[in-house]
Structure formats: structure tokens, C-alpha cells
Amino acid sequence: MDPLAILVAVSAFLFIFFIFASFGKKSSERAPMAARLEAFRFVGEGQVVAKEQSRSQLKEQRSYSGLPILSAFLSQFKGSEKMALHLERAGVPLRVGEFYLIRWAMAGLSFIIPLIFGFNPVNVVAGIFLSVVGYMLPAIFVSNKKKSRTNKINAQLVDLLGLVSNSLKSGYGLMQSFEFAARQMLPPISLEIRRMLREANLGQSAEAALNGLGDRIESNDLDMVLTAINIQRTVGGNLAEILDKVGATMRERERIRGEIATLTSQQKMTGVVIGGLPVFMFAVFMVMNPAYMSLLFQETAGQAILGASVLLEVVGYLVMKRIMAIEI
């Protein structure tokens, strides 16, 4: 195979890999609203210290693998705790060691599959590309699952606030109101509320239990609720009225999200059609005249054009996705 073709394929692979890595890093950063609310969530130095102590205790007790040696090895890396929290937010019942084992196993299997058909430069490059895809697939699955779970929790928050507010108006305490709401709500929010109540019953302060709930659920809406509760517990006020106002704000945000989804639906469909048309036409021409399309694989110029086309497709998809991601 021509060395230039191998160079183009490797360059395309590295370009795609760094694009996905940069977008993954961008999506993992805290939202601007969450960063602004962070200044109000913990009022007083004592609460900040208590939160850091509870996090350190949780990290000491967490097991990252069923093998003690591997768990101790993974505990030395800061990314292990972030990955464990990421898996918790997605509701995936896997430890960090098990998750990485699955990723590396899929990468190794994906690398071997093309080599079954012969050991040559083309299959090696294809194996490297497929191994990267196989390594990223579990992470993409977990990210999508976390996003789906967070959306479900956001949809349940308005009903949760209504139940808690009505319980407070009836004379119940905050934790009693959460316990009543947890019995009425469905998973996943009911499971998280029960876990928060269990941590409070085992000796954690109410603030630490609520902060743990916010850490396990990466939601701007929940951050707004917990911020309102923490401020009320510090400076006082009518918590039931505050929660009613927060619930009304969240309902208005959901209405705006629905309107944006309606207004951008045509643009999303346009992006799908434009992005899928080259792939569809490529498949049609491959069926109608394979010899004509084989020039894209046999000639150096055709391979360069094919690689550039794939890169432009990926870049166009990512740009369209970023344009449509309107923050509310």
C-alpha cells in the first residue's frame, strides 16, 4: 500500500480522535449556571470544610475494583473518583476497574477483528481505528445513559417540589417531606432521595446529605433547588414559598425548552438529510458501478479525497450539534 495513503489514514484517525476528545472534555465541564450557583450553595467556611471531609471519607471507603490490589492502584489516580461519580450519575452498576476492563477488552477485540482477514497495512490501520472506536463506545453509552437519567430526574423535579412544598405547609419537617415525596415518586429520583435520607439517618448532617445528592446528580435544576434550600437554612424564610417559586421557574424553563425544540426541529432534520445524503449516494454508486468507485480506494488522490470527505462529515456533524445546543 502506498505510504502516502497510510499517512493520510493515520492523520485522519488522529484528527477524529482529538476532535472527540476535545468535545468530550468540553461536555464534562461544569455549566455556567452551576458555576455561578456554587458561590451560594455553601455559605460559611464550616460547611465547605464539612463537605471536603465527607468527600474524603467517601473516597476512602469506595472500592474501585473487586481486587484489593487493583482498587488500591486505581485509588492513586484522581480520575478514578471522577469516573466512579460519572458511573453513579449514569446509574450503571459497575466499578471503575470493571468499566475500564470492558473498555480495554472492546478495544483489543476491535483491533484483532480486521487482522483476521490478513496482516497488511490497511488492516492494521483499520484495526487501530476500530480499537479507538471500541474503546470509546462504552464511554459514549455511559454518557448517553447519564444524560437520559438526568433528563428523567429534571422532569420529576417539578412534581417533587410540589410534594415537598405541600408537606412543609402541612407542618412536616424538611427531611420528613422528602421521605413522603420519595414514597410517592418513581425511580430514578425516588432512589436518590432514599439514599440521601439513609445517609442523613446514618449520621451525616442535612447539608452534607443534600450536597451529596447534588454531587450524584449533575443537574442545573437540582442545583438551583439545593441552593435555595441551603440559603433558607442559613438565613431563614418561608421554604415552602421558595420551593413554589423555584418550581414555577422550572416549569417556565421547560416551556421554553419545548418551544426551542419545536423551532429547531426543521434545522435538525436538514442536518440529518445533508449529512446522510453523501453516504447514501456513495452506497448507491458502489452498487451501480463498483469499478468506477474503486478508484477512491486504489488511487492515492481518491484515498485523500475519501479521507477528507469523512473528516468534513464529522466536523460538519459536530458543528451542527454545537450550534443546536442552546443553553437555557
Render pLDDT for 278-306 as a digit per residue (tens, 0 to 9): 888 888 888 888 888 888 878 888 878 88
User: For residue 324, what is its C-alpha cell?
Assistant: 443546536
- What local confidence, expressed as pLDDT, does residue 124 receive? 82
- Give me the residues of the chain with pLDDT under 70, please: 1-62, 328
What is the C-alpha to C-alpha distance for residues 116 and 121, in angstroms, rounded to an integer?
Answer: 13
- What local confidence, expressed as pLDDT, does residue 61 receive? 60
Residue 44: CB partners within 8 Å, gap ≥ 6? Answer: 234
- What local confidence, expressed as pLDDT, does residue 56 receive? 43
What is the C-alpha to C-alpha distance for residues 213 and 233, in angstroms, rounded to an integer?
Answer: 17
Alpha-carbon 13 to chain mean position: 23
Instruction: Tell me the CA distances in angstroms from 193 to 26, 136, 229, 247, one per residue in order.
Output: 29, 32, 15, 17
What is the C-alpha to C-alpha distance for residues 227 and 210, in angstroms, rounded to an integer?
Answer: 10
Task: Looking at the chain, list the stretches that DSSP marks H as alpha helix, in order from N- to C-terminal side.
Answer: 3-28, 32-41, 45-61, 68-74, 78-90, 96-115, 121-169, 174-184, 189-201, 206-216, 220-235, 239-288, 290-293, 295-298, 300-324
> How much is the pTM?
0.64
- What local confidence, expressed as pLDDT, does residue 38 receive? 53
Residue 124: CB partners within 8 Å, gap ≥ 6? Answer: 114, 115
What is the C-alpha to C-alpha distance for residues 108 and 116, in angstroms, rounded to an integer?
Answer: 13
The torsion defined by the Cα of 215, 97, 61 and 40, in degrees rounded to 10, comes to: -10
- What local confidence, expressed as pLDDT, does residue 53 receive? 47
The structural domains of the chain, with segments of one domain joined by +, span 1-253
The torsion defined by the Cα of 83, 86, 91 and 93, in degrees rounded to 10, comes to: 0
The conformation of residue 62, written as its DSSP 8-state character, comes to -
- List b or e across 36-73, with b for residues whose CB sees 16 or more CB atoms inside 10 angstroms: ebeeebbbeeebeebbeebbeeeeeebbbbeeeebbee
- What local confidence, expressed as pLDDT, does residue 328 receive? 65
- What local confidence, expressed as pLDDT, does residue 30 receive? 44
Taking a C-beta distance cutoff of 8 angstroms, is the pair 213, 226 a contact?
A: yes
